[in-house]
Chains A and B, each alone.
Chain A
Amino acid sequence: MRLSDAETGASEVSEDHLIPLINIVFLLLIFFMVAGTFMNPDPLGVEPPASDSEHPATLELATLSVAADGRLALDGEAFDPDELRTRVAALLEQGEGLTIRADANLPASRLLPLLRELEAAGLERSTVVTVQGEP
């Protein structure tokens, strides 16, 4: 009897000690859930340019990643640049928008034809995503 008493006493003490820890872990959990944003992983390793633009990005569900060498990926899935127009047109037909995440080193000779293609596919307004920071 005395032994079991000691046991309950011990477990009570250890669980009491854990409660502040759990509180903090819960707070951290809720903080990360609320404050963080999810982003699709991107297979091309795109690093968006930095800017101090005043427009906060409206991140659409679909993300088009453009690597500096012109490789393309839609929602993390790489695809042939020749299919760009059909893929984007299909996307826009479903009423979805498109976020363009292009690499900071993408040359204009690749960017401008890409924008032309997107325009031909029906994208009315192209915006590229940048990271807040000094260029």
Chain B
Amino acid sequence: MQLDVPRKRRLSLGLTPLIDVVFILLIFFMLATTFMEWREVPLVLAGQAGETSDSHTAVAVVRIEATGNIWLDGAPIAKEALATRLVEWQARESNGVVRVRPDGDVSLQRLLEVVEQLDRAGITNVSLQEE
């Protein structure tokens, strides 16, 4: 009987308030945190410090239309063929600069698709230019 008394006291601390607090913390963290995987795409402007070019470098111009059509140096080109063509081009012109020139109403999503395709193909010196 004497043994039972201290045990009762220890339990009388009560776990319920602790559980309440932990639940509140849990709900806070569930609501306040996100699990999206954030990525980033670098965007360099033509003439910016990150770009290396001078008046003698070869320039390939990629124009993006709002409809999604892509023109390489004035000739239409399929989206899938663009990266391979530019890889070949850059193999010849090792200092060549690629200028991406989106039309004014091209969305960021469409622009990034092109920029990122070039980035993944390993093409360096890609920069953006106003039309």
On A, residues with C-beta under 8 Å from B are 5, 8, 11-12, 15, 18-19, 21-22, 25-26, 28-29, 32-33, 35-39, 49-59, 102-109, 111-113, 115-116, 119, 124-132, 135
Contact = CB atoms under 8 A, between A and B. Distances in A.
A12 B36 CA distance: 43
Interface of B: 4, 7-8, 11-12, 15-16, 18-19, 22-23, 25-26, 29-30, 32-45, 48-50, 64, 102-109, 111-113, 116, 119-120, 128-130
Nearest to A109: B104
Interface of chain A, helix or strand or loop or mixed? mixed
Given A25-B23, A106-B108, A131 B38 contact: yes
A127 B42 contact: yes
A125 B42 CA distance: 7
A35 to B, nearest CB: 7
18 contacts: A5-B4, A8-B4, A8-B11, A11-B11, A26-B22, A36-B32, A50-B109, A52-B39, A53-B40, A53-B41, A59-B38, A103-B108, A108-B107, A115-B45, A119-B45, A119-B48, A124-B50, A135-B109
Contacts of A130: 38-41, 112
Contacts of B102: 108, 112
Contacts of B45: 112, 115-116, 119, 126
B3 to A, nearest CB: 12
Nearest to B32: A38
